[in-house]
Amino acid sequence: MSSHREAPEISKDPVADSTDVYAFVSPDARDTVTLIANYIPLQGAAGGPNFYEFGDDVLYEIHIDNDGDGRPNVTYQFEFTTHVRNPNTFLYNTGPILTLDSPNWNRHQTYTLTRVESGGRSTVLGRGLACPPCNVGPLSTPDYPKLAAEAVHGVGKGRKVYAGQRAEGFYVDLGSIFDLGTLRPFQQLHLQPAFTQPAPGVNTAKELNVHSLALQVPITELTKGGWSGGDVNDPRATIGVWTTAGRRKARVLESGTGKDHEAGPFVQVSRLGNPLFNEVLVPMGEKDEWNSLPPADDKRFARYVAHPELAGLLNVLYPGVFPNLAAYTKPRADLLAILLTGIPAGVIPGFQNYTGATEADMLRLNVAVPPSANPNILGLVAGDAAGFPNGRRVYDDVVTVELRAIAGLTLSLVDKSYTPDGAAGVITDGLTPTDLDNPYLNIFPYLGVPYDGYHHPAS
Amino acid sequence: MSIDAAVPESDAPSGVSRRGLIRNTAGVGAAGLAAGVLLSAGAGPAQAAEVHTAEPAANEHAPAHTETLIVHVLDARTGELEIHHGKAHRTVYDRKLTSALLHAAG
């Protein structure tokens, strides 16, 4: 997945497991940026009686770097509190939940949102902010969009926030990809002669939900010196975005009570910037370490970007399909730019999202690029500069973009002597947003209404 | 987690309130024994302050606290302790305290 269960340790701790990060200039509020960090992967909609919720013992953060050093200049922190109205029932709800203060909703969450600046200034933007319930089903949550709308809170100065369940918007064919790198649309070309015909992709995330931390804030709140403007080449136009989750450093479990006690500062256990970075590029033995580090320390992982294991596997698994890629031995300057430094000016006419020489995995967004009137899910490689890897919109096909980039499609941008293989321009896992049942929204928080547990999985 | 409708203390599992349980844990502490493990000096933003403790006077009362306190013995030979208290932690070098904890641990 993008970052679902991407490392050994965090795969055992789903409440703190970041799955996707999105950052884009809001199409319906162009003086703002929308930041979304998703957690708790692969939620079956019928996950009762203990439906999914954020961790009271987890510090969730969305970070912004606006000076290119791979360290946060602005951080938004989410801290949750779970409330139980009646501990003497096993039920999540005892009747329909029609409002967020419904007495029928037995187990609910609120949160505190805090903005922290790198100098240490900390501002609480909201306390006691209500989360929506999970989408239980038509009897329990008969009007989910109304509940979700109630859970969009204004938190001053043009900000909005939402924290709660949404439909999984990421689409990927994991079942084929992790079966020895099979891509169904090209499976007849695979080294293993098991398939004779191509097949359409199968969305592994179909009808699943996630928990989203969604925030819409003015551009001037994120950029260096509060900059805003239309000059794409201004170095202040690009911000780096990533999310982290932390747990307290020490924990003691009480025997015989079901209680525990925690102490010490929060220690980072999960991190996510660019999709698939830790999942596909970082080797197994270093994934947990990567999750514990800031982007500023990513130089040590740059060799895995410069010589990605997956590029070598493509040559092995699809014999003769990528001859030019197979013959290329130099470091992958295109991937280093896309993922670790941003794309310098002059590589793509009229575009840059370069943040400097510091190699740091961050989702880089040039906020001077306006939202596209005709978005292309392949983003920048398809000429749509408002899409990934210039930030990431909820519908961007990041799997196909990164597959094609690793296969060499973007290499000719920085090495004019290289000719991409024909397959690099068509390789895909065969999925698009049409494979989602619940569509994206055109308003905040943009991810679709979560799938309800009565109808999903569909019979 | 909070219970919106408070449960009477007498209904709690052992008749002891959560606050009481935390105080109890804080008073006793918890010692993890990991002799030989060294704390990285460059541990990032949560980097510990390192202090050498002074002996308290015999009649000095322990400071009041209500938050969980957990002590981790990092190196018994040097007396290196990591003390987690609330959301803070610091590294302390105190051979007497380390020795006392190890004796208490059996």
The whole-angstrom separation of Cα A69 and Cα A66 is 8
Backbone torsions φ then ψ of A306, nearest 5 degrees: -65, -30
For chain B, say whether A81 makes contact (Cβ under 8 Å): yes
How many angstroms separate the first and last alpha carbons of chain B?
35
Over residues A26-69, the pLDDT tens digits come to: 999 999 999 999 999 999 999 999 999 999 999 999 999 999 99
Asked if the model's pLDDT at residue B27 lies above 50, the reply is: no
B33 in contact with chain A, both atoms CB, cutoff 8 A: no
A92 burial level (CB within 10 Å; 0-12, 13-18, 19+): buried
Give me the residue from A85, A252, A265 closest to B46, CB to CB.
A265
The runs of H, that is alpha helices, within A72-197 are 144-150, 174-177
Chain A residues within an 8 Å CB radius of B5: 85-86
Closest-CA distance, B85 to chain A, in angstroms, reads 5
Q: Measuring CA to CA, how many Å separate A457 from each of A43, A208, B77?
A: 11, 8, 58
Sequence-separated (6 or more) residues with CB below 8 Å from residue A220 = A31, A226, A227, A228
Mean pLDDT (chain A) is: 96
How open is the CA angle A248-A252-A258, to the nearest 5 degrees?
110
Q: What is the pLDDT of residues A190-200, one digit of tens each?
A: 999 999 999 99
| Paired residues of A78 in beta bridges | A60, A113
- Report which of residues B5 and A350 the model is more confident about: A350
A:B CB pairs within 8 Å: 71
**CA-CA distance, A182 to A427, in Å (whole number)?**
11
Q: Does A84 touch chain B (CB under 8 A)?
A: yes
What is the pLDDT, as a whole number, of residue B48?
Answer: 45
Tell me the C-alpha distance between A131 and A151, whole Å.
6
What's residue A157's pLDDT?
A: 87
Whole-number Å distance between alpha carbons of A166 and A20? 12
Q: Looking at the complex, report in whole angstroms how far the Cα of residue A435 sits from the nearest Cα belonging to chain B.
A: 38
pLDDT value at residue B54: 61
- For the record, the structure tokens of A456 come out as 């999903």
Structure tokens belonging to residue B19: 């606050």
What tokens were used for A124?
Answer: 């609480």
Task: Write down the pLDDT at residue B13.
Answer: 32
Work out the burial of residue A225: count CB atoms within 10 Å of its CB; fewer than 13 is exposed, 13-18 middle, 19 or more buried: exposed
Contact B84 A86 (CB under 8 A): no
Could B7 and A87 be called an inter-chain contact, meaning their C-beta atoms sit closer than 8 Å?
A: yes
| Contact residues, chain B, for A259 at CB < 8 Å | 18, 21
How would residue B6 be classed by pLDDT, with cut points 50, 70 and 90?
very low
Residue B8 contacts A where some CB pair is shorter than 8 Å:
no
Of B7, B13, B72, the CB nearest to A250: B72
Structural domain spans, chain A: 10-435
CB contact under 8 A, B3 and A267: no
From the list A84, A249, A267, the residue facing B4 with the nearest CB is: A84
Q: Which residue has the higher pLDDT, A189 or B47?
A: A189
Report the alpha-carbon distance of residue A294 to residue A273 in Å, rounded.
10
Nearest chain B residue to A80 by CA distance is B1
Is there a contact between B5 and A86 if contact means CB atoms under 8 Å apart?
Answer: yes
* A30 touching B (Cβ < 8 Å): no
Contact between A334 and A381 (Cβ < 8 Å): no
B61: which residues sit within 8 A by CB, 6+ positions away? none
Pairwise CA distance, residues A27 & B75, whole Å: 56
Alpha carbon of A290 to those of A174, A271, A282, A357, A394: distances in Å? 22, 8, 8, 20, 25
CA-based nearest distance B79→chain A, Å: 19
Quick: pLDDT tens for B53-100.
666 665 667 666 689 999 999 999 999 999 999 999 999 999 999 999
A8 preceded by a cis bond (ω within 30 of 0): no
Residues present in chain B in total: 106
Q: Tell whether B14 is within 8 A of chain A (Cβ).
A: yes
pTM: 0.90
Is the CB of A261 less than 8 angstroms away from the CB of B13? Answer: no
Q: Which residue has the tokens 């947003």?
A: A433
Structure confidence at residue B37 (pLDDT): 28
Residue A338 DSSP label: I
Cross-chain Cβ contact B88/A254 below 8 Å: no
Enumerate residue ranges in chain A where pLDDT < 70.
1-2, 459
Taking each helix axis as running N to C, give the angle between helix A309-317 and helix A398-406, from 0 to 180 degrees, rounded to the nearest 10: 80
For residues A287 and B17, the model is more confident at: A287
ipTM of the complex: 0.76
pLDDT of residue B63: 67
A50 touching chain B per CB within 8 A: no
